[in-house]
Structure 1
Amino acid sequence: MRPAIVFVHLACCLALCIAFYPFQPAWLQEKANARALQRDGNDYGNGAAAARGVTLEIEQRARHGFNSPAERAERDAGLLARKYGGPRSSEMNTNGAVTKRMNQYRVQEAVASEQPLTAGIDQDGTDYAYFIKVELGSKRQPLYMLLDTGAGSSWVMGSGCTDKACAQHDTFKFAASDTFHATSKDFSVTYGSGAVQGKLASDTLTVAGVTFDYSFGLASTTSSDFMSFPFDGILGLSMSRGSNDNFLEKMTAAHKLEKNIFCVTLNRAADGLNQGEIKFGSTNPAKFTGDITYTPLSSEEGEWAIQIDDIAFDGKKAEVGGIMSYIDTGTSFIFGPMDKVEKIHRLIPGAKSPNGQIYTVPCDMDKALTFTFSGVDYKVYPQDWISPKNAAGECTSNLYGHDVAKGSWLIGDTFLMNVYSVFDKDEKRIGFANLASSDSKSASSSGSGPIKTTMGTASSTATPSAATHQADNPQSSGNPAGAVGGQETPSGVDEGKPKETSDSAAIGDHSRVKSQAVVATLMAALVVVFA
């Protein structure tokens, strides 16, 4: 019965967008539960952070109330959304003005950056969900929005929403904004088993120091799935157009960017000093070393999807490439077809799985995985692809055999923490580079750097500092590749400096998953479960 239920969850995922994918393995659930106990004991860290003005931040906060890693993984594999945190207590005044609320989640703040159009990426210490801080409306109400390269639609929870999920989040007090405009157009987005509904609206949005008019979904109904996560909405960064304005197009029109790109560096909690950042319009040479190697997009529908050459373990290729890989900031881990995930783990001594979906691996494994794009290798270290020990003393692999993007890889933050990522809308390509030395930490990282932990709300802020370069460059593997896409359902350079290169390899033929086939698969799964 249980495998059938899992299959239904996965079928739901296939029918929807490669966006906001909230997969919560057991080890992460156990961490969240432990943190919940600490909160009950009033162990709140270092206090609230001071407001920092207008910057874009990506923050991580833990979720709560789940069981083992495997059960958490199954649950999240059934949701096509992304990761969030538990309830937050609130204080509201009676005149509708924006007020602060006590936040029960630890936040590791990023150090401040002096770069233009740049903001720090904060996190809660679990390397799970990254979201940005925006300011909405004439009163510039701060809200957290999930940074999601897999979504074309953006939305926030509205103050008129009375669902349990909204009660546990900051909601947009639109009545207090002098620039708010309502419409009669319906808004609806489904993420796996999660869904939001409401009306389209528009207001001023401030992101990374840029303010512009933006249309978005104002949610009046939010499913209980969102009770498990800390953000108040989703900011869609896909190139495709969802129910509302395309964010990248609107920001480019509002601020004449040097290039229509954004670049992401994700910091891992164990590294101590948080230097994660997101930058719009240009790259930050201080954050990477060597060349940025680009791979052209394979999707014509606007998804951030490229072809992967291969994945290797300890120098041994698994021969799992030649297919599309969705690069998704809204997904914590890595998901792929069961047969390909099995081929990778077959190379890993001691890897075991009861179902081909979740694998346990030796906790003392010290070998990196290697991901190859456009002939260039990028390492993912054990601290990222292997989970911490669970209550049973077992470690699980963060590569899961869930075919969420049918026949494709869904590559999230487990990989992205190890590279400098460039999402280039103008040239329709994604680039990766090795991180600069102060941003790149090996598996031996002790995390001994200073960590500022706060209990801030969306008005808490911080940004990153410049980093130095490391000497080693990516090594070529020589194998070219191709790419794929996903969908959402809404109703020259100086020598010695980093350089950018582009792959000219031809992209193979690809086909999208037809919605009719997906629906048929889902219906078949339902028959299996309920027959």
Structure 2
Amino acid sequence: MVSSSSLSLLALLVSLSANILAAPHPSSPVSLSMNLKRRAPEARSADDINAWAHAHKLNVEAKYGNAHKTGKRSSGQNLIVNQKADSSFFGSVAVGTPPVAYDVILDTGSADLWLASSTCTDSACDGIPTFKSSSSSSFQNKSTEFSITYGSGAAAGSLGEDVVQMAGFSVSNQVFGVCDQVSDGLLNSPVSGLLGLAFQTIASSGASPLWETLASSGAWDQPLMAFQLTRFNNDSQVQELEPGGTFTMGATNTSLYTGDIDYNDIPDNEESYWLQTVSSITSQGNAITISSGSSALAAIDTGTTLIGGPADAVAEIYANIPDAEAGTGQLDGYYIYPCSTNVNVTMAFGGKSWAISNADFQAEQLNENTCMGAFFSLSTGDNAPAWIVGDTFLKNVYSVFRYNPASVGFATLSSESLAMNGVSAAVPSATIGSVATVSATASAGARDANNGAASMLSLGPTLSLLVFSMTMLLLRLV
């Protein structure tokens, strides 16, 4: 028999757990202890912006196999923390025995996990947590070279195998790159590496990605993962790091969107990038000419900041914007236009049409009157999609990446999601999540696995541990 005092405590705990599992709120719960990594933003000159834009374009072209470049396809920028005013979004994984937490870019445009090694002596590795293989009793050296090349640099090292945990799930023998060579600019503190969230077919390592192992083994309640990203690029008081939104593994968070999720299948036998067919684009209310077939394919990529596409279509978008002009020099491929213009652009992928906010279209302000647009022209490789759709679009929707059937879905952001834009709060640091993990093996075959509830990275893995502890207490009381 449960006493009245126990029932009162039970009611209180149920109430608290409901608040914890709800969508993240801009004001941080006082019971959470999180390290704040914030500093005043540095003013960027026009030259700085030009250099960044040029590097971003090269980066995307190299990532998607531009034929005139020599680099392998791999990663981009992007737990959820919003870094450098929407430039990238990162989360955390725990690696090794005992587990150590690392911040990693969350990238649906690549399929490899890699971390900077403790043996890295490059300046890019200064001041960031690095992986020390000798500190993990479960690490195994694969004795295989590994490298990732970008338009603006590279990372190289060797492949290893170890326990990797994320959001309450664990893969016991995840293969990942341990990089002792990292070019300047690839990592910005506190980020230590990158987590690829695309399909194994494009993995440079050939290994099953962490997410695909979990999805295929039945470890998740539903074979999907979802993102809600915040917007800070239009906030003049933005800090270096801000709350970035929510990454959910194994379920959708219904408090973060409204209505139905509009799913569109990935083209048959094209499980590589998260591909969608661009069915329509409008600019200032006018339809843009979209080529058919492979020229209409788009990679939905959380690791890319802006939106790249074929030169003719991008030019047509800006042709509808009064006084827009093609950029020159380092802004070649970009367009500039009067900041006072309210730009209205929409995109559709076979279903509903989705609007891109004027704040997101206005990627950078070059001077008092002139802004740079978020769409830029790029040339990808023969086997790569013509369009790369990054965070400029994804900040405007709730995005779902479904393993089976292979598809991408978008939904309208809820008022709770929209209320997080531009609101500073505690930034989650890399932490070790709940010990109640679901294990799977990295071979990604159809295997038996323990049933586990979907785990959500709403305000960082700290919540997973708190929810688990409260659940155990509730069970003991009852």
**TM-score, scaled to structure 1:** 0.63
SS in 2 for 1:69: helix
Partner of 1:410: 388
Conservation of the 8 A alpha-carbon contact between 2:116 and 2:179: yes
Q: For 2:154 and 2:140, how far apart are their aligned partners in 1? A: 23
CA-CA distance at 1:309 after TM superposition: 0.9
Tell me whether 1:288 sits opposite 2:271 in the alignment.
no
The structure 2 residue matched to 1:239, chosen from 199, 214, 235, is: 199
Q: For 2:214 and 2:374, how far apart are their aligned partners in 1? A: 34
SS in 2 for 1:387: strand
Count of residues in correspondence between the two structures: 370
The structure 1 residue matched to 2:340, chosen from 356, 364, 367, is: 364
> What residue ranges of structure 2 are gaps of 5+ in the alignment?
1-31, 64-74, 434-456, 461-478
Bigger drift between 367-376 and 253-262 goes to 253-262
CA-CA distance at 1:216 after TM superposition: 0.7
Paired letter, 1:198: G
Q: For 2:190 and 2:291, how far apart are their aligned partners in 1? A: 34
Q: For 1:385 and 1:65, how far apart are their aligned partners in 2? A: 19
Partner of 2:10: none
The structure 2 residue matched to 1:338, chosen from 287, 297, 311, is: 311
Conservation of the 8 A alpha-carbon contact between 1:309 and 1:321: no
Paired letter, 2:395: M
CA-CA distance at 1:138 after TM superposition: 1.5
The structure 1 residue matched to 2:377, chosen from 390, 395, 401, is: 401
Partner of 1:50: 33
Tell me whether 1:376 sits opposite 2:352 in the alignment.
yes
Q: For 2:214 and 2:40, how far apart are their aligned partners in 1? A: 27
Q: Which runs of 4+ in 1 moved over 6 A?
A: 59-66
**Deviation digits for residues 241-282 of structure 1 (CA, Å, limit 9, x no counterpart):** 421332223223676212221011111125899571111112
SS in 2 for 1:75: helix
Q: For 2:84 and 2:44, how far apart are their aligned partners in 1? A: 17
Conservation of the 8 A alpha-carbon contact between 1:320 and 1:343: no
**Deviation digits for residues 100-120 of structure 1 (CA, Å, limit 9, x no counterpart):** xxxxxxxxxxxxxxxxxxxx7
Conservation of the 8 A alpha-carbon contact between 2:111 and 2:196: yes
Conservation of the 8 A alpha-carbon contact between 1:304 and 1:327: yes
Gap change, CA 1:280 and 1:60, over 3 Å in 2: farther
Tell me whether 1:421 sits opposite 2:381 in the alignment.
no
Paired letter, 2:53: A
Conservation of the 8 A alpha-carbon contact between 2:321 and 2:343: no
Partner of 1:257: 220
Tell me whether 1:268 sits opposite 2:231 in the alignment.
yes
Paired letter, 1:142: A
Conservation of the 8 A alpha-carbon contact between 2:300 and 2:388: yes
Superposition RMSD on alpha carbons, in Å? Answer: 3.2
Q: For 1:135 and 1:64, how far apart are their aligned partners in 2? A: 34
Tell me whether 1:165 sits opposite 2:128 in the alignment.
no
Q: For 1:326 and 1:164, how far apart are their aligned partners in 2? A: 32
**TM-score, scaled to structure 2:** 0.70
Conservation of the 8 A alpha-carbon contact between 2:347 and 2:353: yes
Q: For 2:216 and 2:278, how far apart are their aligned partners in 1? A: 32
Conservation of the 8 A alpha-carbon contact between 2:115 and 2:131: yes
Q: For 2:41 and 2:275, how far apart are their aligned partners in 1? A: 28
Q: For 1:50 and 1:419, how far apart are their aligned partners in 2? A: 30
Q: For 2:115 and 2:223, how far apart are their aligned partners in 1? A: 24
Partner of 1:313: 283
Paired letter, 1:175: S
SS in 1 for 2:149: strand
**Deviation digits for residues 387-442 of structure 1 (CA, Å, limit 9, x no counterpart):** 3423454211011122246671110000000011111111111111111122237x
Partner of 2:248: 279
CA-CA distance at 1:375 after TM superposition: 3.2
Q: For 1:373 and 1:436, how far apart are their aligned partners in 2? A: 21
SS in 2 for 1:248: helix
Partner of 2:106: 147
SS in 2 for 1:439: helix
The structure 1 residue matched to 2:76, chosen from 77, 82, 95, is: 82
Where do residues 439-518 of structure 1 align in structure 2 (5 Å cutoff)?
A: 439-440=417-418, 447=422, 449=423, 451-452=424-425, 458-459=430-431, 463-464=458-459
Q: For 2:138 and 2:345, how far apart are their aligned partners in 1? A: 50
SS in 1 for 2:334: coil
